[in-house]
Amino acid sequence: MITINVNDKMVQAKPGETILSALKRANINVPTLCHMSNLFPTGACRMCVVEVEGQRSLIPSCAYPVAEGMIIKTHSPRVVRARKTVVELLLSNHPDDCLYCVRNRNCGLQKLAEELGVRQRRYQGACNDYHVDSSSPSIIRDQAKCILCGRCVRVCEEVQGVAAIDFINRGSKTQVGTAFSQGLNVSSCVNCGQCVMVCPTGALREQSYIKEVVAALNDPQKVVVVQHAPAVSVTLAEEFGIKPGKDICGAMTGALRQLGFRYVFDTAFSADLTIMEEATELAGRIQNGGVLPMFTSCSPGWIKFVEEFYPDFIPNLSTCKSPQQMLGAVIKNYFAKREDIDPRNIFSVSIMPCTAKKFEAQRPEMLESGVPDIDAVLTTRELARLIRLRGLDLNNIAPEPADTPFGERSTAGKLFGATGGVMEAAVRTAHYLLTGTELKRLEVKAVRGLDAVKEARIHIEGLDIGVAVVSGLGNARKLLEEIKAGRNDLHFIEVMTCPGGCIAGGGQPFGTDTEAVAARMSALYKIDHGENLRVSHANKSVQRLYQEFLGKPNGPMSHKILHTKYHRRDVVI
């Protein structure tokens, strides 16, 4: 350890670490804009500058290593003035429409302007004439609000390995753009929304479908049905100021009813259904020499990634639709018939932690004879907006159970919300399907936690199954390259587009950091630990659905409505 002097106090630092990281550990707060933990620093924004004795100019603390005996001032007049000027310059060509901005009161730039006491416009910069790109069904890009911090570019390339956007042009004409400045819609963007999560301003936001949903809720002809994903109930509370890790499934169900949704269903139900289909498909592939390893197909960003970058692996993808689409299909086909409602009069909404689900819902494959499985997808953030719009107070809403028949779920289905959850649920059910007995210990420790890649060997009835769990497309790319190079010890691989799984999805509350994701994850594990129905195959409602409608897993009816096909996808670059 080395010792540095910060604001006349001694602070311990590790050799080789940056000044910023030492300051963070000592709870000394230095503002940042472009900084991203776990990624190599760029030092682009200059917000984190500090004064180091003996150095002529101010030093970006995010990119400068500590040295023994360093004397640092983090809030000297010179430093504060520099930071304030940086913000004033960023504001000089920023649109003054905070009141109309989706990030109002939740904006990195606004927060810094407030903290540094910017009260007047000292610089008037020429504004570039940029227009909004609203072509994508998932993400809207508003260049006028971009401050060129580069976080979206880095998360897209370095974390997700997609590189759909990058800096183009030079100097004052620099902007973040797609290849040939084509719309995001025809780029290689996989719609994961991680760029939205890291954007400090309103330059990136989700394509909102609140208007469509409200119109449907107000239409007396429509029966509006809603489903909510496993990862939503453990994050929604954060939008209302409650600290991460609280499950408010019951209150959320009550709120959804008060918003006017006629039926509230749980996507974790169809996660159980997915497990029945997917575990059967896997067992079939292993027994009949099908294409292996089999990849999960729940995460729509991952599906588009394979279609674009690794089309050779399309046969490896499970043909199962995602839980969202499965429930959508079951609602429009089975539920509509049972309740004697014309499927065209059902407006099916899903609340998802995800922006890519918006893209998935409008894939042409998800359109059975002109009736879409899902009519509109809202993110967790949009649901919070809708709740605020209606003036509901989540603290004063009595918990309510979901509706039958798609409200019952196992905790295995709920685990889908975190990386490793699909695998854990699948292992529990595969064990039962192959041996007729339950796993003695249901927790599959090897696939839990926030590690980027988790591998295990599962032994069931003499079968030795190699499994891997990957989250973050950059990590998935590495594994795909290994398999391409000849690795063949794996049978089943779960891939989640976002690092950490759906609990860290692109539709989740802003301000998501590693601690928040860990807290959300333990909330899911707590639910799994505390309930009795913990395996998908024991879900009575799923069993009944098979008896009354589907027949058997991977049967003809299942194949008609619960499975799909993927296609090689050509995009601009």
Partner 1 sequence: MNENAKTILIVDNDLDFLALERTHLEHAGYNVVSAENSTAAQEALAANKVDLVVLEVMLEHMDSGFALCYHIKKSFPNMPIIIVTAVAAKTGIEFDAATAEEKSWIKADVLLAKPARFEELKREIERLLAAAAASA
- Where does residue 188 rank: exposed (0-12), middle (13-18), buried (19+ CB within 10 A)? buried
Query: Is 215 or 389 the residue whose CB approaches partner 1 more closely?
Result: 215
Query: Is 288 or 369 the residue whose CB approaches partner 1 more closely?
Result: 369
Shortest distance (Å) from residue 367 CB to partner 1? 6
Shortest distance (Å) from residue 211 CB to partner 1? 4
Q: Is 541 a catalytic residue?
A: no
Rounded Cα gap, residues 245 and 238, in angstroms: 8
Structure tokens at 162: 């997609």
Sign of the four-CA dihedral 553, 555, 557, 558: positive
Query: Is 23 or 204 the residue whose CB approaches partner 1 more closely?
Result: 204
Catalytic residue among 51, 206, 238, 360: 360
Q: Is 360 a catalytic residue?
A: yes
Of these, 26, 98, 158, 183, which contacts partner 1 (CB under 8 A)?
183
Of these, 9, 131, 440, 441, which contacts partner 1 (CB under 8 A)?
131
Query: Is 71 or 127 the residue whose CB approaches partner 1 more closely?
Result: 127
Which residues are registered as beta bridge partners of 372? 367
Name residues contacting partner 1, limited to 327-386 (CB under 8 A): 344, 362-364, 367, 369-372
Shortest distance (Å) from residue 148 CB to partner 1? 20
Rounded Cα gap, residues 473 and 158, in angstroms: 10
Shortest distance (Å) from residue 95 CB to partner 1? 11
Catalytic residue among 365, 438, 443, 455: 365
Of these, 175, 182, 522, 541, which contacts partner 1 (CB under 8 A)?
182
Structure tokens at 134: 């609203």
Cα distances from 502 to residues 239, 288, 507, 520, 521, in angstroms, run 16, 32, 9, 10, 10
Query: Is 92 or 143 the residue whose CB approaches partner 1 more closely?
Result: 143
What's at 78, amino acid-wise? R
Name residues contacting partner 1, limited to 191-230 (CB under 8 A): 209, 211-212, 214-215, 219
Is 565 a residue that touches partner 1 (CB under 8 A)?
A: no
Who contacts 540 (Cβ-Cβ below 8 Å, separation ≥6)?
Answer: 408
Q: Is 379 helix (H, G, I), strand (E, B) or coil?
A: strand
DSSP state of 213: H
Catalytic residue among 152, 189, 249, 298: 298
Rounded Cα gap, residues 55 and 51, in angstroms: 8
Query: Is 332 or 363 the residue whose CB approaches partner 1 more closely?
Result: 363
Shortest distance (Å) from residue 44 CB to partner 1? 27
Structure tokens at 240: 């209302």
Catalytic residue among 21, 61, 136, 318: 318
Query: Is 144 or 535 the residue whose CB approaches partner 1 more closely?
Result: 144
Catalytic residue among 51, 239, 277, 281: 281
Name residues contacting partner 1, limited to 414-443 (CB under 8 A): none
Which helix (H) or strand (E) segment is 445 a member of? none
Shortest distance (Å) from residue 131 CB to partner 1? 4
Q: Is 357 a catalytic residue?
A: yes
Maximal C-alpha separation, the chain? 80
Q: Is 298 a catalytic residue?
A: yes
β-pairing verdict for 263-266 and 223-228: parallel
Is 132 a residue that touches partner 1 (CB under 8 A)?
A: yes
Shortest distance (Å) from residue 348 CB to partner 1? 14
Query: Is 141 or 520 the residue whose CB approaches partner 1 more closely?
Result: 141
Q: Is 281 a catalytic residue?
A: yes
Contact 554, 310 (CB under 8 A): no
Contact 354, 379 (CB under 8 A): yes
Q: Select from 37-45, 117-125, 126-134, 322-330 the region that touches partner 1 (CB under 8 A).
A: 126-134
Rounded Cα gap, residues 274 and 290, in angstroms: 19
Of these, 51, 133, 403, 408, which contacts partner 1 (CB under 8 A)?
133
Query: Is 289 or 370 the residue whose CB approaches partner 1 more closely?
Result: 370
Q: Is 502 a catalytic residue?
A: yes
Catalytic residue among 206, 238, 239, 278: 278
Is 301 a residue that touches partner 1 (CB under 8 A)?
A: no
Shortest distance (Å) from residue 562 CB to partner 1? 20
Contact 33, 152 (CB under 8 A): no
Shortest distance (Å) from residue 166 CB to partner 1? 18
Who contacts 97 (Cβ-Cβ below 8 Å, separation ≥6)?
Answer: none
Structure tokens at 250: 């019951």
Cα distances from 153 to residues 397, 407, 451, in angstroms, run 41, 40, 23
Helical ranges in 419-511 per DSSP H? 421-435, 473-484
Rounded Cα gap, residues 320 and 323, in angstroms: 9
> Total binding residues for partner 1 by CB under 8 A?
25
Name residues contacting partner 1, limited to 136-155 (CB under 8 A): 137
Rounded Cα gap, residues 474 and 194, in angstroms: 12
Rounded Cα gap, residues 360 and 227, in angstroms: 15
Shortest distance (Å) from residue 362 CB to partner 1? 7
Rounded Cα gap, residues 99 and 469, in angstroms: 43
Who contacts 175 (Cβ-Cβ below 8 Å, separation ≥6)?
Answer: 128, 130, 143, 146, 148, 167, 168, 169
Which positions are catalytic?
A: 278, 281, 298, 318, 357, 360, 365, 502
Q: Which residues bind partner 1 (CB under 8 A)?
A: 131-135, 137, 182-183, 185-186, 209, 211-212, 214-215, 219, 344, 362-364, 367, 369-372
